[in-house]
């Protein structure tokens, strides 16, 4: 499925949020309300970007895109810090400092992935509710059809019994007529025989 180009603006925005976090203070645990507020807002924006990415690019493709954004942004951040170490106040390029900035990017990227996961879970729950509703409708229709089928079968049995009864009744009537005709024929034959005997023996 071809995704629209405009859908990729959200991953770009996520990359911008992650990249601009490099210019914020690294003292996350310093006592101060501003540091926490800024990072909380950035995390919320990253979460929202992940949510939108799931809605536009989907879970599978969007996850690959976000993962690529995390890798690329972290790599560019390391290059930026190495080149402009004086600007970032790093007198020495220690590996701990590079890891710290990389973890900042990964943390925001993880918030984006978390937003994607939450959006996917919400979509799946909605789909499950829809399927359950459809399943209930199907089960209700099946029960209704079973009742209708049972009613049709009962009516067919009743009609079959009625037909058998009528057939048996007609058969009995025909048998009675046959027996009556046989009896009449026998009586007629006996009468004819007696008459013949009388004519043969007039005495």
Q: Give me 112's structure tokens.
A: 């984006």
Buried b (16+ CB within 10 A) or exposed e, 32-68: eeebeeebeebbebbbbbbbbbbebbbeeebbebbee
Cα 150–Cα 144–Cα 155 angle in degrees, nearest 5: 25
User: Is the Cβ–Cβ distance between 54 and 47 less than 8 Å?
Assistant: no
The 10s digit of each residue's pLDDT in 145-156 is 888 888 999 999
What is the residue-wise DSSP string for 54-116? Answer: HHHT-HHHHHHHHHHHHHHHHHHHHHHHHHTTTTTT-SS--HHHHHHHHHHHHHHHHHHHHHH
pLDDT tens-digit profile, the chain (203 residues): 456 777 888 888 888 888 887 777 555 444 455 566 777 888 899 999 999 988 888 888 888 888 999 898 888 888 887 777 766 666 555 666 777 778 888 888 889 899 999 999 998 898 898 898 899 889 888 988 888 888 999 999 899 889 998 888 898 889 888 888 888 888 888 887 777 777 766 55
The 10s digit of each residue's pLDDT in 38-72 is 778 888 999 999 999 888 888 888 888 889 998 98
CA dist 182 → 97, 169, 185, 188, 194 (Å): 122, 20, 5, 10, 18
CA–CA dist 155, 183 (Å, integer): 41
């Amino acid at each position: 499925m071809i995704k629209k180009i405009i859908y990729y603006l959200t991953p770009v925005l996520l990359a911008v949020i992650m990249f601009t976090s490099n210019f914020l203070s690294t003292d996350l645990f310093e006592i101060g309300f501003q540091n926490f507020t800024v990072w909380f807002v950035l995390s919320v924006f990253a979460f929202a970007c992940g949510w939108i990415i799931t809605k536009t690019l989907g879970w599978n493709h969007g996850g690959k895109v976000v993962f690529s954004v995390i890798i690329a942004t972290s790599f560019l951040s390391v290059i930026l810090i190495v080149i402009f170490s004086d600007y970032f106040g790093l007198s020495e390029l220690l590996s701990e400092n590079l890891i710290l900035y990389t973890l900042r990017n990964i943390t925001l990227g993880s918030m984006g992935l978390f937003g994607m996961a939450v959006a996917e879970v919400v979509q799946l729950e909605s789909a499950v509710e829809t399927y359950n509703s459809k399943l209930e409708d199907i089960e209700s229709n099946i029960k209704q059809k079973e009742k209708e089928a049972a009613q049709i079968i009962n009516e067919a049995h009743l009609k079959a019994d009625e037909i058998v009864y009528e057939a048996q009744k007609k058969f009995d009537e025909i048998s009675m007529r046959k027996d009556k005709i046989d009896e009449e024929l026998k009586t007629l034959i006996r009468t004819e025989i007696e008459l013949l005997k009388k004519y043969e023996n007039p005495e």
